Amino acid sequence: MFVQATWLVMATEAERISRHPRQRKRKVSRRHCLCCRCPRSRMSCDKRLWSHIDVSRCSPLSNQALAGIIKRQPYSLDLSWTPLAKRQLNCLLTRLPGLRELRVAGLAWSCLSALVSPTLPCLQLLDLRWCEGIKDAQIKDLIMPPDSESSRSRLRNLVTLRLSGLDISESILKLLQRHMTQLERLELSHCKNITDSSVALLAAPGTNTRNNLTELTLAGCGELTDYCLSYMKRLSSLTLLDLRGCRNVSRRACDAFIADLSHITLYCMMEEKLIQRID
């Protein structure tokens, strides 16, 4: 992560120096000289080399780093746990129309409120794990259509949504079902309000989640009991179920879940309470 972020800044600075005649005469570091001479630098803006940019857990991003990210137009961007201002995130979102995967785990709502924008790219993956200050109201602002004239959510194309560690209720799950019809992978680990009735809601007849969910991560949800597995059986496309750390879900109930579905689909226990379908 650090190596990629450092290279991004160096490559951007090297390009700026090489473009401006006055800058060529100034004293530059040996690292910048090596970056300019390196064959990679001549291809440093080739989008094929920068489909995924990971600057997670870095020091605050400079304007040069932001410019470098924008110039390379990534498909996937990881900003998790990196200090970022709202104006910086807004700058990235408005200038990366081809962005499809955004990871912003650990960031604060004061920054992430930039996501509530009609110009948000058509994301397919959004990672909001352990973000600060995000509750029902903030998630609702993200999901609801940007204006009263439109019925389409800005997150309507999401396939993967990660909400681990957030304080959300079942009302948010209903919004997901209504506005995210393509959702296949949902992560709700360590969400304290997730209960058996939450799982029943996801598996309710006529809902998109009942038919489309392939991966459901509920690790560390302490309110779940063995009874939730009776609802899990209704998720017809389920390939991965993570119940690790759910203290009220027993190993015996997981074994019974696998046995009850064995005549339809083969599942196995990869780890304690981690169930995966065998293709």
Residue type, 23: Q
pTM, full prediction: 0.86
Domains belonging to the chain, first-starting first, are 42-133 (3.80.10.10), 137-278 (3.80.10.10)
> Do residues 8 and 67 make contact, with C-beta atoms less than 8 angstroms apart?
no
pLDDT at residue 218 in the model: 99
Q: 205: closest CA among 184, 175, 172, 231?
A: 231
pLDDT at residue 25 in the model: 43
pLDDT at residue 38 in the model: 52
pLDDT tens sequence for the chain (279 residues): 544 555 565 555 555 545 554 544 444 444 444 444 455 555 567 777 899 999 999 999 999 999 999 999 999 999 999 999 999 999 999 999 999 999 999 999 999 999 998 889 999 999 999 999 999 999 999 999 887 667 889 999 999 999 999 999 999 999 999 999 999 999 999 999 999 999 999 999 999 999 999 999 999 999 999 999 999 999 999 999 999 999 999 999 999 999 999 999 999 999 999 999 998
